[in-house]
Amino acid sequence: MTEGGIARGPLHAAWLGRVDYAAAWSWQRELFLARLEGERGDSLMLLEHPPTYTLGRRAVQDDLVYGEAERAARGIALYEVDRGGRATYHGPGQLVGYPILELGERYDVVAYLRKLEGVLIETAAELGVEAERDPEHTGVWVGKNKIGAIGVKITRGITMHGFAFNVSTDLSMFGGIVPCGIQDRWVTSVEEETGTRYSVKEVGEVAAKYLAATFDLPLVWTHQRTMRAFEITKDHRSDETIERSLN
């Protein structure tokens, strides 16, 4: 299978459970480097994070509502990250997906974002939620409330970061930030909209199905140990080498 002249193999997906944000970020970099060097194909990390705020490249200080003491009292970590976008929340009950995909040299960032939105819209529909795009704001919405956030980084045609989809998330935790820097909007979840509590892993399986179909890739489920089979960055490369390769 090819796309734009690139040989494409299957999409290897794994459910990783609850993973600390810093550990998952390092894991992404390992997969990115292996994909860049042709040592593995496309991958999809599916997981939850402990309570975490992240600030993307366009974030400003006013995006943070809770100060350091309030975050510590609530057990919320904070990271400044290299994805696009502004502030968002990750936590239990939220599906996070990190696709590590090769898009090729002539990739279209906006087209990639629209495809991820489509994946979340289809996922929401299968769960009984009618979600849609907003012409002014990236992400997936139910009315004026965001159910799916998207923030990505693409380096040399290979993707990192991805999407966050609220399944049964504690929405009050978004009160510590201005979500995505948008003052007049709020957030919602599948549970909020339907009254049904799905397991995050179950929703991850639905999202993986639609993501593979969107990018015309066969979907192959793998154990998380297989997803770590190329731990070359830990064993043979320094963090400095990883960062140099990403920049």
What are 1's two structure tokens?
């299978």
Q: What is the DSSP string of 129-178?
A: ---EEETTEEEEEETTEEEEEEEEEEETTEEEEEEEEESS--GGGGGGB-
Neighbours of 225 (CB within 10 A): 8
Rounded CA-CA distance 194/215 in Å is: 29
Q: Catalytic residue, from 180, 190, 200, 207: name it.
A: 180
Give residue 66's identity as a one-letter amino acid code. Y
What are 90's two structure tokens?
């990750």
Look at residues 113, 120, 118, 119 and name the one whose alpha carbon lies nearest to residue 137. 113
Q: Does 180 participate in catalysis according to the annotation?
A: yes
What are 87's two structure tokens?
């502030």
Q: What amino acid positions are annotated as catalytic residues?
A: 180
